Amino acid sequence: MALFKYASPERIDVLERLRIRFTSGDEFNDPFEITPSARFMDNPEYFDRFVTRYADRQASREIAEGKILREKREERIAGLKVKLSSDFKSNLLGIKGAALGAMRTRFKDYRILCLSRVNPEDPAALLLWGHYTAGHAGLVFEFAQDHEWILAHDSRTGDLRDMGEVEYRTERPLLEESAVRRNCYLTKSKHWEYEHEHRLIRSNSDRELDALSLAPFPGSLILSVTLGANVTDETHEKVVEILNGNRALAHVKVYQGELHVDEYRVARSLLNP
């Protein structure tokens, strides 16, 4: 089994430096990324808890500032709940928006590596080639899915790491009350289903990520590199130079992508048998 990374020509540096970037959750090209629904706030039980928390905090501030007596606390909370319930219901959409905004801010602490299960020769890869390789001028890295570097993305290791298949839905996932959940960073609209995405997730404080969120990986992770049909001679020559100059990449196969003469798909020919 393999995972693929469709990349622009500039990302030849992944091969050259053996480092790959985990992108911040707020930098994706899909504006709905990590933006779930706040429908949970329509639940009367949650809404009551939400209002109670606000009333309790405000009453505590008023006691600390000497505005009310401590023994009047419960009475004050009851009055605040009546007023806040009315205020919040009249501005529920605004409150939902603020909740989602706060959640997206929290998600900046996550870093994601997006990979695909679609082989470069599969007809389903045409949109991936078009969207992520600068019009077939880039390249596709093939990674070994069962490699220990991939498998290390497991929350059971004690670190904030995770991985999983993206689920494509017609409805956005629900924002939950506490921390960001897996259903948020592993869910996208069905419009993106063609990507067949597999994600690796880390915290921005991960010990292996540098200031640019680049993570090192062993050369054994890469199985092959496919050059796009419109790749430049410069990029082609650079790939060959990198592979010839690093013994850790001696096993990597290089394919040349070509537009199939009859079908809507990319064909490949092996350059280094």
Angle at 256 between CA 252 and CA 262, to 5 degrees: 140
Question: Which pLDDT tens digit goes with each residue over 163-210?
Answer: 999 999 998 887 654 445 677 888 899 999 999 999 999 988 898 999
- pLDDT averages per 10-residue partition of the chain, 273 residues: 95 97 86 76 78 89 89 90 84 76 72 96 96 96 96 74 92 64 84 96 90 96 98 96 96 96 96 87
What pLDDT does residue 178 have?
Answer: 46
- 2 C-beta neighbours (distance < 10 Å), count: 15
Q: Give helix 92-107 / helix 73-90 axis angle, nearest 10°.
A: 100
β partners of residue 2: 144
What pLDDT does residue 172 have?
Answer: 85
Q: Is the pTM of this model over 0.85?
A: no
Residue 198 to residues 52, 171, 172, 187, 201, Cα–Cα distance (Å): 40, 20, 18, 11, 10
